[in-house]
């Protein structure tokens, strides 16, 4: 399984962009990069995913490097409600088994 490396924690000022990095140097060509986040006392919540191209949705943007060995999740205007643990996950491409392997993630604290 491709592993990911994320910083343990980060701070971001409210209203500023939060840029969360992730390294996945052993990613395979058919594996996607997924981002989930977990707010305190809740289950993880899907944010965004991508394969090669940069992706954007209503929650965030995902920038994947050309060699696919790393990526960055961008929250364009962080709010206090974005304080959470953010998980970068490389999806195992295994027939019939589609679960997600979570690491310890990055704890993002948005500061007023």
Partner 1 sequence: EAGVAQSPRYKIIEKRQSVAFWCNPISGHATLYWYQQILGQGPKLLIQFQNNGVVDDSQLPKDRFSAERLKGVDSTLKIQPAKLEDSAVYLCASSLLKGGDNEKLFFGSGTQLSVL
Under the criterion CB under 8 A, does residue 41 sit at the interface with partner 1?
yes
When binding is defined by CB under 8 A, the residue of 2, 10, 51, 74 that contacts partner 1 is 51
Q: Does 3 bind partner 1 (CB under 8 A)?
A: no
Sheet containing strand 84-90, edge to edge, reads 9-13, 106-111, 84-90, 33-38, 45-50
Residue 35 engages partner 1 in binding (rule: CB under 8 A): no
Positive or negative, the CA dihedral 26, 64, 29, 96 is: positive
CB of 31 to partner 1, least distance (A): 8
Q: Please pick, from the candidates 18, 22, 70, 87, the single residue that binds partner 1 as defined by CB under 8 A.
A: 87
Q: What residue ranges bind partner 1 (CB under 8 A)?
A: 30-32, 36, 41-46, 49, 51, 87, 91, 93, 95-105
């Amino acid at each position: 399984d491709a592993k990911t490396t994320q910083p343990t924690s980060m701070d971001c000022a409210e209203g500023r962009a939060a840029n969360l990095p992730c390294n996945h140097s052993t990613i395979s060509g058919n594996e996607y990069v997924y981002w989930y986040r977990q707010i305190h006392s809740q289950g993880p919540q899907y944010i965004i995913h991508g394969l090669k191209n940069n992706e954007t949705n209503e929650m965030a943007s995902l920038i994947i490097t050309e060699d696919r060995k790393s990526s960055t999740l961008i929250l364009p205007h962080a709010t206090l409600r974005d304080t959470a643990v953010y998980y970068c996950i490389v999806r195992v491409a295994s027939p019939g088994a589609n679960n997600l392997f979570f690491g310890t993630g990055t704890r993002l604290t948005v500061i007023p």
